[in-house]
Structure 1
Amino acid sequence: MQKQKFYDLLNQQAQGLIDGESNFIANMANLSALLFTNMDDINWAGFYLMDTEQELVLGPFQGNPACIRIPVGKGVCGTAASELKTQLVKDVHAFEGHIACDAASNSEIVIPVYKQGKIFAVLDIDSPSLARFDEQDKMGLEAIVKSFEETL
């Protein structure tokens, strides 16, 4: 299936899951499960929430146990939170300051989530394959995050 069609369908499913639900924890849990069960070649999908201005804390996810706290500005998730932009990393081992929560992860994409114009969380997806994510994944996942932001 063409990636854009895949993400259009996935976004429709995401909207169906979260439409009318205001509890962000429930929505994050369902979105994590939706992404984890529908995306090929990934080993982790979930959210880190802003806990303080300096730290992210683990939120709902699917996959192996993960790091609980990540300083803003550290690792791929912390960089996404500090730079306020999506991080598409083809090889996490070449990313300066990478935090290895799962040694099996080799590539990663992290998308900031905003609430009322401020960073609220990040969506983090890992893959055991190098260069798993591309610009089409970035656009598709950013659209899903935008749908989620509308519930916040």
Structure 2
Amino acid sequence: MIKLEGVERMNDKQRLEYLLLALEGQLSSEIDVLANISNATALIYAIVDRLNWAGFYFMRGDELVLGPFQGLPACNRIKLNAGVCGTAATTKETQLVPNVHNFPGHIACDSASNSELVIPIVKNSKVYGVLDLDSPELERFTELEATYFERFVEKLNLYIDWEEI
């Protein structure tokens, strides 16, 4: 059972450390891939503030397909090289976008989103998808968060066989 009392009093780094600890607890106690990915999104949405969407897109052929998420309904499919998610999947590089409206080819799944952080899910040099975080605030995401969410995906990679998705 995850307890969230006190999270609101934590600073950003403490929240991110707690997020990784909570994820480790979830992943180490459950083997079902879908349960773990679903709870990973719930942990992000519960612990990280000022988000309007958090979730996964997974590779299906030559496009990304929506996976478990928290927030309003989202785009079902995103082509590679399209938008922030497609760019992260194609380049295998984290995309920290302070203002999505200035990002060439941005896809507005939710018109309330103004900034975005997308971490590619890469294991053994193969791209399996992306972790996507959106915020209604401009310049919401920091380099610290990018680093911690890269660690978040690394932790997922230790426990999850992405071929099962």
Please give the alpha-carbon distance, in whole angstroms, between the structure 2 residues aligned to 1:66 and 1:41.
18
Please give the alpha-carbon distance, in whole angstroms, between the structure 1 residues aligned to 2:29 and 2:124.
18
Give 2:101's aligned amino acid.
H
What residue is the counterpart of 2:50 in the other structure? 41
Match of 1:57 among 61, 65, 68: 65
**TM-score, structure 2 as length reference:** 0.88
Matches within 5 A, 1:65-76: 65-76=73-84
**Larger of the two Rg values belongs to structure:** 2
Match of 1:18 among 24, 27, 30: 27
Partner SS state of residue 140, structure 2: coil
Give 2:105's aligned amino acid.
G
Partner SS state of residue 17, structure 1: helix
Matches within 5 A, 1:62-101: 62-101=70-109
Q: 2:158 matched to 1:150?
A: yes
**TM-score, structure 1 as length reference:** 0.95
Which structure has more relative contact order (CA 8 Å, sep 6+)? It is 1
Displacement after TM superposition at 1:115 (Å): 3.0
What residue is the counterpart of 1:141 in the other structure? 149
Q: Is the contact between residue 49 and residue 58 of structure 1 (CA under 8 Å) also seen in structure 2?
A: yes
More deviation, 1-10/138-147: 1-10
Partner SS state of residue 65, structure 1: coil
Unaligned runs of 5+ in 2: 1-9, 161-165
Please give the alpha-carbon distance, in whole angstroms, between the structure 1 residues aligned to 2:52 and 2:135.
5
Identity %: 48
Displacement after TM superposition at 1:20 (Å): 4.4
Give 2:159's aligned amino acid.
T
Partner SS state of residue 96, structure 1: coil
Total equivalences in the alignment = 151
Q: Is the contact between residue 21 and residue 151 of structure 1 (CA under 8 Å) also seen in structure 2?
A: no
Match of 2:138 among 106, 111, 130: 130
Please give the alpha-carbon distance, in whole angstroms, between the structure 1 residues aligned to 2:36 and 2:129.
13
C-alpha RMSD over aligned residues: 1.1
Q: Is the contact between residue 92 and residue 122 of structure 2 (CA under 8 Å) also seen in structure 1?
A: no
Unaligned runs of 5+ in 1: none
Kindly provide the CA deviation profile for residues 60-112 of structure 1, in whole angstroms up to 9, marking residues without a partner as x: 00000000000011000000000001000000000000000000000000001
Q: Is the contact between residue 55 and residue 69 of structure 1 (CA under 8 Å) also seen in structure 2?
A: yes
